[in-house]
């Protein structure tokens, strides 16, 4: 459902976003040195299906991984996603545990 080509890193608003059926899902972030702090996940109810949330987060993490950045999830929902996906745990900076 989530097409990585449709995922946009909006530098100006500091958020990853994807538009589906005129609804905008986004993850707000803060970038400091080589770390990206994922601060807020916003998904409109109209498109918040079981698989969409996981696919959206996975697409964002893949894009972050390509940029060689460490991830600090400050949002509880995003931290829960990382806990459930071992392959993304290695993206955490040294000393950060969730």
- Asked, for residue 22, whether it belongs to a domain, the answer is yes
Adjacent-strand bridge partners of 37: 30, 72
pLDDT digits (tens, 9 = 90+) for 2-59: 655 589 999 999 999 999 888 999 999 999 989 999 999 999 998 887 788 999 999 9
- Asked, for residue 94, whether it belongs to a domain, the answer is no
- Asked, for residue 30, whether it belongs to a domain, the answer is yes
- Asked, for residue 77, whether it belongs to a domain, the answer is yes
- Asked, for residue 28, whether it belongs to a domain, the answer is yes
Say what the pTM is. 0.89
pLDDT digits (tens, 9 = 90+) for 60-82: 999 999 999 999 999 999 999 99
Among 89, 20, 16, smallest CA distance to 59 is for 16
DSSP per-residue string spanning the chain = ---GGG-EEETTTTEEEEEETTEEEEEEEEEETTEEEEEEEE--GGG--HHHHHHHHHHHHHHHHHTT-EEEE-SHHHHHHHHT-HHHHTTSPTT---
Domain that holds residue 23: 4-89
- Asked, for residue 96, whether it belongs to a domain, the answer is no
Q: The CATH number of the domain where 50 resides is what?
A: 3.40.630.30
């Amino acid at each position: 459902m989530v097409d990585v080509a449709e995922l946009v890193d909006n530098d100006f608003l500091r958020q990853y976003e994807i538009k589906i059926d005129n609804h905008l899902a986004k993850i707000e972030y803060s970038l400091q040195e080589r770390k990206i702090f994922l601060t807020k996940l916003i998904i409109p109810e109209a498109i918040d299906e079981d698989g969409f949330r996981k696919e959206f987060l996975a697409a964002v993490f893949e894009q972050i991984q390509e940029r060689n950045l460490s991830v600090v999830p400050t949002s509880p929902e995003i931290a829960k996603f990382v806990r459930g996906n071992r392959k993304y745990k290695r993206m955490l900076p040294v000393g950060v545990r969730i």
